Structure 1
Amino acid sequence: MEPLKEIYSTHWIQNLSFVVSKVDPKIKSYDFQKKIQETPWKNYELKQRINRIADTFLHYWNHPLDKIEPKLLELIKLLRQQGVSDFNFPYIFVNDIVVKTGIDDFKSSMRILEKTTIFSSAEFAIRFYYINHFEKTVKQMENWSKHKEPFVRRLASEGSRPILPWGIGIPAIKEKPEIHLNILENLWSDENEIVRRSVSNHLNDISKFQPDIVIDFCKNKFGVSESLDKNLKHALRGLLKKADARALSYFQYDTKWMPKDFKLSLRKNKIKFGDSLDFQFSFLNPSTKNIKIRIEYKIGFLLANGKVGYKIFQLGEKTLKPKEFFQYDKKHSFKPITTRVYYPGKHEISIVINGNECKTSQFELLKG
């Protein structure tokens, strides 16, 4: 799979440069392309490439933000005419241009970001305004949560997240995440799924360090619709994985229920790097009534320091009939992935049902 930074291919840059020359005839297409791809462009990672593109614009447009605004909006207009869709990640540099030239011009910045975020999300850009204009930015985001455009409403939730992936940290938000509860309330039942999804992610962020806020927010929101209940499960996913009894009870998972005659077996107790761990588990529902269960498995991965790090994987949910026998077969791959480094040695696996660990088995991971 090609690295994400390769979205900025030579062909893509050539097209951007051509459009720029149409916006500003003083800029020659070839010169603009050459400026972007100056050494060490090939060695740049994604964020560095985004930064280089923004800086290239400012090399030619060395003006205050309000002077750049009409050119920036014309650029977006021409790109749309070419068929470039809105909410388009590669063009996120347009928001960087706003930040780099307008961090001290709050009013102009907000006016422009309100437009550019529709074309390419300003969720990362707005974080810099939190750092420099905290109170004004909080108020602006609350106003945007009532905006007619869904991508602007999404910005109000996404850009204010306590833990935004790739976004700069805002300590004041982590210290007091409740400042954005009005925004989350405004957007919780938004008509647009992408907005509701952002609210769920925002709530999941909060649950990592202040779970009581999230539990309280969610407790009276169940049963309105199937889609909103789905968003609730997404919002509470971190707490569900941590076996929080309150979160589990919201979805009618009985944490006191335990299976009978539980068995966990591994096809092999020793596997090599690149192979899969094949396992099977089975049990009986001893109850005389239907039981809703949430099924997960937890692997204890051996770490470089010799300690064990645990990761939960969800298998799904099922409603068991009275006295029903249940069996499940699963394979967990140990093929190389970019997000995890495997170390040879003793590992462990356990099955988790409704937040309770039922049984643990050990296996050994061997070098191939």
Structure 2
Amino acid sequence: MNNEIVDLHLNDPQVRKTWEDFLTSLGITDFQSQETDAIDFTLGIYEGDKLVATGSAAGNILKYIGVCNKGVDQGSRFNTIVSALISRLFQQQIFHLFVFTKLKYSDSFQHVGFHELAHSDVAALLETGDSSIDDYLKAIPRVDDQTNKRVAGIVMNANPFTRGHRYLVEQAAGENDVVYVFVVNTDASLFTTAERFELVKQGTADLKNVIVVNGGDYMVSYATFPAYFLPTPDQQVDYQTTLDARIFRDRIAPALNIKTRYLGTEPLSRTTGIYNQVLQRELPPQVAVKIVDRKTTDDGTIVTATAVRKAIADDQLDSLAALLPPSTTNFINQHLDSLQFRIKKGMNINGN
């Protein structure tokens, strides 16, 4: 095989070893299951029997792109492998693509049609395809004279929507003319995106200045950020959250006149605690950060979605009334068998 695009079947141990050895030689060494299990397909280019380029796709995200340029024009193999990935995804009717990459490779992706959304000192997020962040922002509802309104934003996973989430939204709604609640769009949670979105809408329906919005591809959750090219977990979290914060600060907030981002205090989750710290570092002065103490039950217990998911798993629904608004309680009662089946099938109920 000479410079042909071929499929690499990573379930073949020898192919997998060749692939990992090649990427390791380029400085990519993280092949944890949380990164590799999401891969839908992998392509490669061989020079003789030697792998000289590879790239993978997970959903609409390109990842594990590595190229050896020895003996060829700079950029030629990179262009070939990226173009092949894009072509394959287009054939699968996936037309809006993202790549997370080291900052030094941002220009290379821009040369093949990607547009940079944000970057940090070490990494960049880019997109290409038939839609863009501008299209996403244009579709979000506005109110009359919004540029002269006090506008706030909240981003939540709401897995599921609890009295704690409701309390945070109430605080923002009482202090602003308009509040956007962005629901993270990823189906890596016990409750699907559609379910979480509907529960947030139902749980805030009486708050007339609240607009619930699907976070689309731009309120990025931890589950979708490839971080295999960064060496330590702390660096990975910082890189992920920095990009997320800068997209919100530089693209989303100005378009909607959002001046304040509301956060709940985070005494329990280290990852979310770091996320909050990064938001406080990155958003001001363009976007003020207001931190609201977490809601507690009458006995002082912090209201968390994690406790709700555990109660579902343990079939301890009597404890949920103090944690949930009626709309979420009703949904769980009506769909308990389905939720418990998802857990039995291996859905992770830990995390946020």
TM-score (norm 1): 0.29
Which structure's residues are more often helix, by fraction?
1
TM-score (norm 2): 0.30
